[in-house]
Chains A and B, each alone.
Chain A
Amino acid sequence: NAGVTQTPKFRVLKTGQSMTLLCAQDMNHEYMYWYRQDPGMGLRLIHYSVGEGTTAKGEVPDGYNVSRLKKQNFLLGLESAAPSQTSVYFCASSYWGQPTDTQYFGPGTRLTVL
């Protein structure tokens, strides 16, 4: 039982390049989330999904797209990376989206945009 995994762990991009971050969970969770974590700020929600085939915007969605083609996977895409997207990205999942549901986090992806 791997929990929540993320690939890659590290990546360096040049401004304007694109990339996709992959999140996978093996806990059969319905809800999945993408957060970014920046120095001096709390984790901020980028996008989330309430089930296979669905996505929704979070607090800071601009510059990102997501897809949830399979229940276990949640992809975060950057079409044209900008230095402001340098951050650590965390994926999380939960059984449902109830306020009391624990979110289980992946190990993070450190992205640097030059």
Chain B
Amino acid sequence: ILNVEQSPQSLHVQEGDSTNFTCSFPSSNFYALHWYRWETAKSPEALFVMTLNGDEKKKGRISATLNTKEGYSYLYIKGSQPEDSATYLCAFHTGANNLFFGTGTRLTVIP
């Protein structure tokens, strides 16, 4: 059982604010890190998959960075909008048919 930690557990931001949160994972035996976006009453949807140290991915106002040597990834949202309200999950892949998920960061964007 691997420990994947996400912080903070939840946060509230004003519309237009930029924000970021963290995913920490074991730095050994790294194969890939996934970020998912999970809206209430819907299914988790993939945002990014990252594999290389120093990798940076971007989709619209959302971006993510990866540091495999120290075992963390940051997710950034620029100019938060109410539709960004969701739980953001990260998941660590060990290469053995198993994704280990963090508990998520629940983001609420206040109009």
Chain A residues packing against B (C-beta within 8 Å): 4, 31, 35, 40-45, 48, 50, 56, 58-59, 90, 97, 99-100, 102-108
How far does the alpha carbon of A107 sit from the alpha carbon of B31 in the complex, in Å? 27
Residues of the B chain whose Cβ atoms lie less than 8 Å from the Cβ of A104: 43, 46
Q: Are B101 and A50 in contact, with the CB atoms below 8 A? A: no
Across the two chains, which residue of chain B brings its CB closest to A108?
Answer: B43
Please tell me which one of the listed residues A42, A56, A100, A108 contacts residue B89 in the complex, with CB atoms under 8 A apart: A42
Q: Are A45 and B98 in contact, with the CB atoms below 8 A? A: yes
Residues of B55-76 contacting chain A, CB below 8 A: none
**Contacts A45-B98, A99-B95 given; does A106 touch B46 at CB 8 Å:** no
**B20: interface (CB < 8 Å):** no
Q: Are B97 and A97 in contact, with the CB atoms below 8 A? A: yes
- Shortest distance between the CB of B10 and any CB in chain A (Å): 12
